Amino acid sequence: MSEIKYSPEQLDAFVADAQRGKTEAFEKLYNAFVDQIYRYTYYRTGREDALDITENVFLKVWENIKSYRVGRRYFSSWIYRIAHNAVVDHYRLNKEAVELNFDIADEKRDADPVRIAEGSLSSEVLMKAISKLNRKHQQVIVLKYINELENREIAKIMRRTEGSLRILKLRALRALRRILEDMNMRNK
């Protein structure tokens, strides 16, 4: 399914309408973000949990849409913060190790600059390498290179300055490169 792109102004108009109870406006918000939120939760939890978490995220968005202040911040930052909190809650409740699944890695293969930079690297190998990163590094890699968000949005989602985000992103890419090199050495 191709993602629907709207400007921040259009999204704010949909939010304002959804705050007045217009379900068709909420449906547009849902369609604009469901794939992104699913991918974000999928790469952090796995398929089955991602479906449930994504559903819960949109339920929380619907229940709390009136608390969103139009024009104060990007709607995408707000919804990703809800998704992030839902993932954290999932791990807090389940207290299990992070296990990522790799079946849908091909869905965003062409949009993944990390994969492109690594040449003929298989998406399965890349996803296994990402799963070995710590949670903050996973989050920045998925938001930037899989969901293709701008640094400003990622900084708001992760509650960091853009400068500290750039440093985190650099460290995450270096850690990912080391993991990939280590995996390559073991396979020789």
Task: Tell me the residue range of the domain where 120 lies.
Answer: 104-188
- Which of 77, 101, 125 terminates a domain? The answer is 101
pLDDT category at 114 given cuts 50, 70, 90 is: low
Average pLDDT across the chain, whole number: 81
24 and 50 in a single domain? The answer is: yes
96 and 14 in a single domain? The answer is: yes
pLDDT above 80: residue 84 = yes
Q: Average pLDDT of 107-126?
A: 52
143 and 180 in a single domain? The answer is: yes
83 and 115 in a single domain? The answer is: no
97 and 112 in a single domain? The answer is: no
User: Which of 24-28, 36-40, 96-100 is predicted least confidently?
Assistant: 96-100
pLDDT above 60: residue 107 = no
- pTM, two decimal places: 0.64
Q: Average pLDDT of 49-68?
A: 93
Nearest to 134, CA basis, from 65, 44, 55: 44
Angle at CA of residue 116, ends 113 and 117, nearest 5°: 85
21 and 84 in a single domain? The answer is: yes
Residue-wise DSSP of 1-37: -PPP---HHHHHHHHHHHHTT-HHHHHHHHHHHHHHH
Give the count of domains, the chain.
2
CATH number at residue 75: 1.10.1740.10
179 and 126 in a single domain? The answer is: yes
55 and 130 in a single domain? The answer is: no
97 and 138 in a single domain? The answer is: no
2 and 82 in a single domain? The answer is: yes
CA distances (Å), origin 159, targets 56, 96, 150, 153, 186: 22, 25, 14, 10, 37
93 and 168 in a single domain? The answer is: no
pLDDT in tens, 144-169: 888 888 999 999 889 899 999 999 99
Question: Could you tell me if 23 and 65 are in contact, meaning their C-beta atoms sit under 8 angstroms apart?
Answer: no
pLDDT in tens, 132-142: 999 999 999 98
CA dist., res. 33 & res. 12, Å (int): 14
